[in-house]
Amino acid sequence: MSENNIFVDKITEKFPDMVIGSAVFRDETTICVKKEAIVDVCAFCRDDGSLKFDYLSDLCGVDKLAVNNTYEIVYHLYSLPLNHRVRLKVAVEDSETPSLATVINVWPAADWMEREVFDMLGVKFDGHPDLRRILTPEGFVGYPLRKDYPINKRQPENLREIFRKDFD
């Protein structure tokens, strides 16, 4: 059994009804979990002695609305002591306010990464202590990484004035 299968087996054994699927491609494991289990799965990945995923190296979002009407939130985990990686994916359904629980209590480094996903895609992280835009200015209209964001979108005139002042 490869190391990659151990990740899938351990997480599936602990959360049998919460793992939707998994794949290994080019020796990288991806495990898809239900959104209501993400905090528990992440804490297990961090705390289990054979996993020890103590480092959240990246958290990002992907617009999959054209494929299955969801946003995909992707967690890239790394174990410093054991030198292995895994990727977790969670589908968040499109709605007026798409949301997912924060993992800041598992990895404090998730703070700015979750803010970036919120800023670029509009996915809210429930329980986040400071969820506000991080890359675009306050008052920015829309979410630039959504595929339906118009390429020629213009921001309101007053916001353009704020941009100009920032760069003067």
> 16-56, pLDDT tens digit by residue?
999 999 999 998 999 999 999 999 999 999 999 999 999 99
Residue 149: predicted pLDDT: 83
Residue 72: predicted pLDDT: 97
CA distances from 126 to 74, 115, 151 (A): 16, 12, 30
Return the higher-pLDDT residue of 147 and 45: 45
* Contact yes or no for 140/121 (Cβ under 8 A): no
Residue 112: predicted pLDDT: 97
Q: Which domains does the chain have, with CATH numbers?
A: 3-167 (3.30.460.80)
Residue 150: predicted pLDDT: 79
Return the higher-pLDDT residue of 163 and 140: 140
* Contact yes or no for 146/122 (Cβ under 8 A): yes
The candidate with the shortest Cα–Cα distance to 86, out of 54, 115, 120, 113, is: 54
pLDDT > 80? residue 165: no
Kindly give, in sequence order, each residue whose CB lies less than 8 Å from that of residue 49, ignoring residues fewer than 6 positions away.
none
**Separation between Cα atoms, residue 106 and residue 13, nearest integer Å:** 21
Token match 């200015």: residue?
A: 137
* DSSP count for the chain of H helices, then E strands: 5, 7
